[in-house]
Chain A
């Protein structure tokens, strides 16, 4: 458990991704990587040096990228697809649905630099729709690690999983919120702070900010329960329902549009099983203005301050 991470060192999760992939490939010769001219942006230069035959670069061709990966799985290999999240999920959505998920092809889809990591490059390069799109596809786990340790753990799990999976690999630097030796289990969340007043359920870049918000609110006498829900699909329903019964309200926060990601998953569960006051924080259904990632996160209130403000509202009004 981490109390405050505001001043902690920051990590690019792509580095953990690349290192873990090399470890896996060293141990298992079936591991191959498929990319779309994304060797540099996926931090795969060293992988290519070590395993030149096992890095398949299909060029700038995302439909081919995902189809080829499904074929490699059919041929007995263990392919990791590594591509910028907006193009992987947007351009190849039907391949993800038909060739990977519906065909039950053992492919690990790694969406790199998701959310608004490409800041000033603009909404064409932002991947805020991915969680809504991918969560709608059956039989495809949706995983958003929060830090390097969880990124490594999720990759190890995906490599051993008998089926497809989608992982969001963060580029925007984040502090570590987990110890190095954690394991990942689908459908299991991690509670990072104790608290019985309000719950924050966060994923990815938002987890450390939720932890920061908890530290700030503690001085005000509000105990915030922070849950890292890295496994959006399958969702840790028990943890969500417990939070709804034990605290005054539930906040979700994600670096994604609020149309169908984490917030929609939690709201869908609670509205039917335990109606609960909620705040769903994320990017509204709009295209972002120009700005850096940090600027845009602040612009949309995706900060410790934004989370704390929502928590004060839920702590202050209405019964449990």
Chain B
């Protein structure tokens, strides 16, 4: 069983509330969910929708056409046919003629729709009492319950909830990044609001007091990242988050973090560019920029979580890598991942370690920038009671003082080369998924994993032999990384959410791997497995 629910209407009409109740109650009854928000860059009005894919087994991608369509207004009703499967179920106000007699609340239909969905998915009537919020007055909660009950009674049961689901959590990509940072011991988060990254800051601010952290809204992104580096230089784990336009402003500080060997974690939640682009839509088009941003040559790490779950673990790992190699680590997610809410296994915090790679003991003649040390051994002001630390942005000697001499200039560069080499060996290998004797190998990175994984399953079920190689650790790339996977006669298809095959380009540059075909998507909307399969079939027939 796999059913897709679309809730459509204008901003401010309750899409989020309907979605929240449906997701929470279905999840509590053991269903697996994958939901994605499709919204316009405006505060009220417009045409927005959320897509919730419901199944008994984990879901990895969104779906284009709805089985159940909830139209919160006339425009949504008009769009329903185009967004539904041919035999889909349309839930509209017209189908609930007596609702006005039950409740005159402006939310009556939205709540009735929640009740309808719960009935269809076989949820027990008692669960309707969960449709309430502490934020609302008692009479509002009562009205909502009555409407939901009405909706519940209008529809017939179609599915039965699966057992299990214990220990599963419902979380979106931005929250997972925020939680990953908290688990890593984040102390200071400084950012400037920018869609679709703001959710990270909002999540952290929500728990600021309990976690004893500081979340600071900066005057601009230039300040945000520099403040994070400043905080890190004084010993705490610090982070910033933004989208492409804000990341463009942060670029000068990337090089500063690298040359001053100050760990910092930056999350770029990509949206389509260039310039203002499509503020609330999705794309994977900042990769080439991210791996080369800032003047000069230096070491950096770019991680692109494949899933919501990875967003948590990769963010945790980002902090350890940043501390180990004293480099900027950029986490590259996108609006799809940020606004995807998914049921995932409760994060296993007991398995995690926060590794700071510090040198706490007082040592004679400490060299903050020892040219031979590519990892660890860091001190910051106050770590020991004696050592003075100079953090510097120039070419400097091993103590951090400015120099223009030839020898340290070369040694600093060689240090970066050695460091990048060490990083390449420390990063995770790509995940191979699908048929072991594959004839086609898809290559992808980041959030496109989900749709491609489902496409691979479907194609193999249909008798094809395909596999995918998914990269979460996208930069730097080890030159031998592709060797185990490339075989005679295997067709390589590059799949990514941009027009110019940016990861394919990096892979070719670093490993010499060529792809035979490419499947791209650059309409601001996420990949679906169906889209990939259709494109694959076109390639097969060529």
Q: Verify that A and B bind, or say they do not.
A: no
Enumerate chain B interface residues (CB-CB to A < 8 A).
Answer: none
